[in-house]
Structure 1
Amino acid sequence: MEEKQITNDLSYHHDLDNNDNFSPDGEWLVYDTRTDSGGIAASSKIEKVNILTGEKRILYEIKNNQVWGPGAGAVSYNPKENSVVFIHGLASSSEANPYQQWRRTGVIVQDSDPNVPIFMDARDMTFPYTPGALRGGTHRHEWSGNGQWIGFTYNDAIMKALEDSTGTKQNLRTIGVSKKIKPVIVDQNSENISGTWFSALVVRVVPEPTPGTDEISNAAGDSWVGQNGYINKVGKRQIARAFLGTVPGQKNKAVPEVFIVDIPEDITQPGEHGPLEGTKTTLPMPPKGTLQRRLTYTANSEKPGCSGIVRSSPDGGYLAFMAFDKNGIQQVFIISPNGGKPVQLTEHGSDVSGNIRWHPDGQRVSYVWNGSYVLCKLGNYDFKERFEIITKPTNPAPTNAVWSPNGKTIAFNRLIKNGKDSAQQIFVREIN
């Protein structure tokens, strides 16, 4: 079961970006073509490669893209249909006003109709703002297991401008979702975009969280809980996203903790904190029925904080994340979406370095440790019997692992050098 290199071109990266890159049939991997000089802004193409033949196809290309944008990157496949979603910088990007966290949107492209962008989330920068539209930039788009939702992180351009004008902290990262309820039409200009899906922010963040409360100033590291939600305490299946929320810890030091937000089926109704579309001085607010809960409490420990992307088992029964054990070593922990005490999964003698992903069987978790990808089984085994090293150790370590839908193949990036040239290349390995 040797590793197999799938891409070879050293002129650009083939970046999987820790997304869901396998096509529904498991035969293709989708990636962006970013460069070191410009990152996603300099990625002019979304490509896919066949893991069996090495054939490459362009799904989307921006002609005359510049180092400042617009750019197209961080792409994921729909698990149910042959379509992808990715970041797209604004068409008005320029050297003076480049691609930014708050100047981007989500675009869908069908495999059968390449180079035809479907703008997913609407963007309305003109007051009064529009319910269902946002006012900034979406990022790390992730399809739900049934392909009916897209989750993302978000930065708001209105609040960034307010921060610049007042000198007060306002540019806060948070989390939103989109659902194909109805198109959202806005007045067209170089900063506005009409969208085909309805969008709402679902996590509330505040500039200065009150110590001792569960208020947060930042939300990121998010993913869907289960392929179809989780079973809550009253026995009902609930749609949700898990994430890291930043709370004030000792001496007001920022500490990321694991949170979950329950999301209502109907995201079109405003909630208690304000309008869905936001105001000139406030972020868009979560819809009625969202419930934001804290799951971990590490802030007062000797080495506080959780890290990585919080990843859910396919059935929604467990969330996996990284935190420090009693010896100060970063390990993988799991916790129920309903709360309770976290359970330490790994027992390594040195830090787990990240990239947690669940195997599709829901009984194993993969991650990077000591320069290799490791696969660790859940259950009452001796730890040495539970973990298996599945890639050769390298420095730098492999990154951006993703499992095929049937769980028989793991794909990942390695940085390959040849003289002065280097690029992220895609590798795959078959797994028993």
Structure 2
Amino acid sequence: MKYLLLTFIVSLLSACTTMEYLEEKQITNDLTYHHDLDNNDNFSPDNEWLVYDTRTDEGGIAASGRIEKVNISTGEKKIVYQLPNNQAWGPGAGAVSYSPVENAVVFIHGLMSVTEANPYQQWRRTGVIINTDQPGKPIFMDARDITAPYTKGALRGGTHRHEWSGDGQWIGYTYNDAVLKALEDSTGQKHNLRTIGVSKRIGAVKVEKDSKGDNVSGEWFSALVVKVTPEPKPGTDEISHAAGDSWVGTNGYKKPDGSPQIARAFIGSVIDKNGKKVDEVFIVDIPDDITKEGNSGQLAGTETAMPAPPEGTVQRRLTFTANTAQPGCVGIVRSAPDGQSLAFLAKDTRGILQIFTIDPYGKNLTQVTHHDSPVEGYVRWHPSGKSLFYVWNGSIVKCNTGSESFEKRFQLLTKPSVPSPTNLVISHDGKTIAFNRLIGNAKQIFTGKL
């Protein structure tokens, strides 16, 4: 009986996985610092370079004073940007992403006014762009103005995990507000809420400098696009937190009339009818013109209110897991290139974390994976839109999204390892996967041919 059971397991594994693992190539080797891909868009437009930060375990991004790139064919490394005399408290430079259409990168840059007493914080940072053909010359993207009255097109806090749109004309990010953080500190009431913003390349925003150097002029126009509230009403679609966001499609998704709609998908925190916080998948449609104020408040914000979304912004809830036995969605919501399918993590009926997809209208909810143990995360789409990559059980896995049985759709690409590989990213041509592995005490970059 044991022999028959073993034979069955071996045959099942042979049917649903491949034992021909990817040939892994280690690209970086310096063991003195991390080469952190940070689950961003790290491939250059020509697929030849990967960009990363050099954060530390103790200091995180604040302690990363350098952005580098490495050639995946030769292993040549180049410094893209370096902060002189960076300290453990900042300014810091990290979480870097490449533009898909030009030789430019964008990353978090802490304020130059940092001190040990007033260090790098979520609400004390901005986005900086570097043309990689002109390394070391920072272009401050989002303007920052914390002096009332505030400036339209500027923000008042810190932007994070910047992501270029498919055409390179927009950058999306998560955001925390310094003005409302100060209000929270003075009142003891919750005001420091994470939300989502976008910047568009439509003109510079000039801000008057302050004595501390906390105000920054920017070259792009910025606006918050997701409305958050400290105390969402139970059983409604109001949210207190928004993150895990990404662009929907390379060029948006198709509206019913066939026209494209630019949007970002994200995870928003609602309160269910029993008063419990539940994370759900949302989408926000973004107007082409983000300079017009809507009726929900001032675009620049006030001393007691977050900057309001521009006119034409539409925020919609797509999932309703709060009404199920396994509530909650997690991770970064990742869109297929055509924008018609959004992938996210949620628990199946057995309570096991799996990949699901849903369309931008909240329809066609589909369970993609059917593993017997939780998917670890790092979900990415292949540029063809026909398969997903992720980490499960210590391995990188590829799973097709067709109608065949799950056993025929998924395959292991790497041998199981402890710790697991992390920070998957797929090249624009779909031929290469890159990821981090911890070697000793340093994250190194590996690649494999798909």
Both structures adopt the same fold (TM-score exceeding 0.5) = yes
User: What residue is the counterpart of 2:401 in the other structure?
Assistant: 378
- 1:244–1:306 Cα contact (<8 Å) kept: yes
Q: SS in structure 1 opposite 2:322?
A: coil
User: What residue is the counterpart of 1:223 in the other structure?
Assistant: 246
Range moving further from structure 2, 221-230 or 372-381: 372-381
Q: Within 5 A, what are the aligned runs for 1:56-205?
A: 56-189=77-210, 190-205=213-228
User: What residue is the counterpart of 1:337 in the other structure?
Assistant: 360
Q: 1:317, 1:341 → 2: CA distance?
A: 10
Q: SS in structure 1 opposite 2:182?
A: helix
Tell me how large the CA RMSD over aligned residues is: 0.8
Return structure 1 stretches of 4+ with deviation > 3 angstroms: none
Cα deviation for residue 15 of structure 1 reads: 0.2
Which deviations, in whole Å up to 9, do the C-alpha atoms of 1:346-394 show, x marking residues without a partner?
A: 0111111111100111000011100111110011111111001112211
Q: Within 5 A, what are the aligned runs for 1:260-299?
A: 260-299=283-322
- 1:90–1:103 Cα contact (<8 Å) kept: yes
User: What residue is the counterpart of 1:37 in the other structure?
Assistant: 58
Q: 2:277, 2:161 → 1: CA distance?
A: 23
User: What residue is the counterpart of 2:11 in the other structure?
Assistant: none
Q: 2:314, 2:230 → 1: CA distance?
A: 20
Tell me which amino acid in the other structure corresponds to 1:81: E
Q: Which has the larger radius of gyration?
A: 2
Q: 2:414, 2:113 → 1: CA distance?
A: 43
- 1:250–1:300 Cα contact (<8 Å) kept: no
- 1:232–1:338 Cα contact (<8 Å) kept: no
Tell me which amino acid in the other structure corresponds to 1:393: P
Cα deviation for residue 270 of structure 1 reads: 0.6
Q: SS in structure 2 opposite 1:242?
A: strand
Cα deviation for residue 164 of structure 1 reads: 0.5
Tell me which amino acid in the other structure corresponds to 2:234: P
Which deviations, in whole Å up to 9, do the C-alpha atoms of 1:223-252 show, x marking residues without a partner?
A: 000000000233221000000000012532
Cα deviation for residue 341 of structure 1 reads: 4.2
Q: 2:216, 2:118 → 1: CA distance?
A: 17
Tell me which amino acid in the other structure corresponds to 1:344: Q
- Which residue among 430, 435, 445 is the counterpart of 1:407? 430
Q: SS in structure 2 opposite 1:158?
A: helix
Range moving further from structure 2, 244-253 or 295-304: 244-253
Residue segments in structure 1 that go unaligned for 5+ positions in a row: none
Q: SS in structure 1 opposite 2:423?
A: strand
Q: SS in structure 1 opposite 2:330?
A: strand
Instruction: Please say if 1:425 is aligned against 2:441.
Output: no
> What is the TM-score normalised by the length of structure 1?
0.98
Q: SS in structure 2 opposite 1:388?
A: strand
- Which residue among 373, 377, 389 is the counterpart of 1:366? 389
User: What residue is the counterpart of 2:29 in the other structure?
Assistant: 8
- 1:30–1:77 Cα contact (<8 Å) kept: yes
- 1:249–1:255 Cα contact (<8 Å) kept: yes
Which deviations, in whole Å up to 9, do the C-alpha atoms of 1:126-158 show, x marking residues without a partner?
A: 100000000000000000011010000000000
User: What residue is the counterpart of 2:17 in the other structure?
Assistant: none
> What is the TM-score normalised by the length of structure 2?
0.94
Percent identical residues: 68
Q: 1:51, 1:415 → 2: CA distance?
A: 18
Q: 1:72, 1:13 → 2: CA distance?
A: 13
Tell me which amino acid in the other structure corresponds to 1:429: G
Q: 2:299, 2:405 → 1: CA distance?
A: 50
Tell me which amino acid in the other structure corresponds to 1:35: T
- Which residue among 365, 382, 394 is the counterpart of 2:417? 394
- 2:271–2:278 Cα contact (<8 Å) kept: yes
- 2:234–2:274 Cα contact (<8 Å) kept: no
- 2:236–2:272 Cα contact (<8 Å) kept: no
Q: Within 5 A, what are the aligned runs for 1:315-330?
A: 315-330=338-353
Cα deviation for residue 112 of structure 1 reads: 1.2
Q: SS in structure 2 opposite 1:299?
A: helix
Cα deviation for residue 326 of structure 1 reads: 0.8
- Which residue among 247, 258, 267 is the counterpart of 1:235? 258
Q: SS in structure 2 opposite 1:152?
A: strand
Tell me which amino acid in the other structure corresponds to 2:415: K
Tell me which amino acid in the other structure corresponds to 1:118: I
Q: 1:293, 1:151 → 2: CA distance?
A: 18
Which deviations, in whole Å up to 9, do the C-alpha atoms of 1:151-184 show, x marking residues without a partner?
A: 0000000000000000110000000000011100
Q: 2:302, 2:182 → 1: CA distance?
A: 13
Work out the number of aligned pairs and report it: 427
Q: 1:255, 1:387 → 2: CA distance?
A: 30
Q: 2:252, 2:181 → 1: CA distance?
A: 33
- 2:235–2:273 Cα contact (<8 Å) kept: no
Q: 1:343, 1:71 → 2: CA distance?
A: 41
Q: SS in structure 1 opposite 2:179?
A: helix
- 2:341–2:360 Cα contact (<8 Å) kept: yes
